Amino acid sequence: MSDTSKNATLTIGDATYDLPIYSPSVGPDVIDIRKLYGQAGVFTYDPGFTSTAACDSTITFIDGDKGELLHRGYPIDQLASKSHYLEVCYLLLYGELPSAAELENFEATITRHTMIHEQMHNFFRGFRRDAHPMATMVGVVGAMSAFYHDSTDISDERQREIASHRLIAKMPTIAAMAYKYSIGQPFVYPRNDLDYAANFLHMCFAVPAEEYQVDPILARAMDRIFTLHADHEQNASTSTVRLASSSGANPFACIAAGIACLWGPAHGGANQACLEMLKEIGTPDRIPEFIARAKDKNDPFRLMGFGHRVYKNFDPRATVMKQSADEVLDLMGVENNPILATAKALEEAALADPYFAEKKLFPNVDFYSGIILEAMGFPTSMFTPVFALSRTVGWISQWKEQLADPQMKIGRPRQLYQGPTERDYVDIENR
């Protein structure tokens, strides 16, 4: 943490307390309240932790007002248009973009780790066929600690490295197997001759009965989805991973906790909610009706996939994702897919409506990623698993950073207690 000469003064009754102020490399200053309870006997109150910095980090920075997302200082639009997912993984993990030799070695390492332990196949067969793929992923990823004992010692830097590589490499295999199991098809093994995104599509859509060729446009769109979801600062699932990690839990348990948090519709399920909204609208001719409903404050209907809690003017990821969506829709065609035709018409109608411009309700990354995944043939139940495998590298990078932080201690949020004060137990016959 950087040194500071600035202080904030807090006055409680007749007492005053000096609280150090730290200035980051970019972003708002933070007030250090770590000694506040010990000195003043009070807690701060911040439901949702929207005004609380719980850690130092050098990985990702977001400026919602500017629509800015930086990974290690590099703008997301530059990374998504000029780079590819595994290169961004290297950047997040190690802090710098790799040289050609470093990238080649990293890609080879990830490729060699894509297969999972054969005995883990039995885990999938223990689930019901109609189990949500996220439920399967939570269970299987958590169970990895039972199979990979040589990478669970978090005090060993080499074991942390191996666990990181294994999780990044095996998550697409696990997600694809969860999908195949849910539709009753045989598992497809990874192929070392395919790149990361193409390999995932092959494991999801190939069948033993015939040859499957991955279209490079779809592979590029898939890679962009992975890249644009790789990390997003201290969001709910990342904070969950850090909180689990603070207890000393093994890496597989921590990432499973992140997957469980991401499952929530307010987090990783947003693009699924967007597609469900499009299905509710049905056809382009009904869009004016639903836009009118979205403007009506008394109507519970809301446009999903528009606006963002963090980004106040535009989502920098959406610009790149829109380009991929247009490419995929041109390839796949929208004429025979009413959902995609409705999405295209809704985007045009909303962008042309002054109401949405005034309210800053712009199409966000979830709107476009949902369109792309739908066009590729993924069911909505697979949208969040795709998000989870994309975000795995972000979780791991944050996990590694926290373990190397000398200030790390177990997370222990406080509370504003509003329950009964102490009272005596009443025997059951007297209640």
Strand order, beta sheet including 68-71: 60-63, 68-71, 74-75
Look up 308 and say whether it is catalytic.
Answer: yes
The answer to whether the beta carbons of residues 114 and 189 sit under 8 Å apart is: no
Task: Pick the catalytic residue from 71, 84, 165, 308.
Answer: 308
Task: Pick the catalytic residue from 165, 366, 405, 427.
Answer: 366
Backbone angles phi, psi at 11, to 5 degrees: -110, 125
Look at residues 204, 213, 121 and name the one whose alpha carbon lies nearest to residue 381: 204
Let me know the angle formed at the C-alpha of 177 by 173 and 182, rounded to the nearest 5 degrees: 155
Look up 84 and say whether it is catalytic.
Answer: no
Residues in the chain: 431
Distance (Å, whole) CA 109 – CA 35: 45
298 contacts: CB under 8 Å, gap ≥ 6: none
User: What radius of gyration, in Å, describes the C-alpha atoms of the chain?
Assistant: 24
H-only helix segments in 183-315: 196-205, 216-228, 236-246, 251-262, 270-281, 287-295
What are the tokens at 300? 């519970």
Task: Return the DSSP state at 185.
Answer: P
Distance (Å, whole) CA 53 – CA 37: 17
Distance (Å, whole) CA 205 – CA 143: 25
Half-sphere exposure of 292 (CA within 13 A, CB side): 5
| CA 195 to chain CA centroid, nearest Å | 22
Distance (Å, whole) CA 156 – CA 405: 14
Distance (Å, whole) CA 338 – CA 391: 30
375 contacts: CB under 8 Å, gap ≥ 6: 325, 328, 329, 332, 337, 340
**Catalytic site residues?**
308, 366
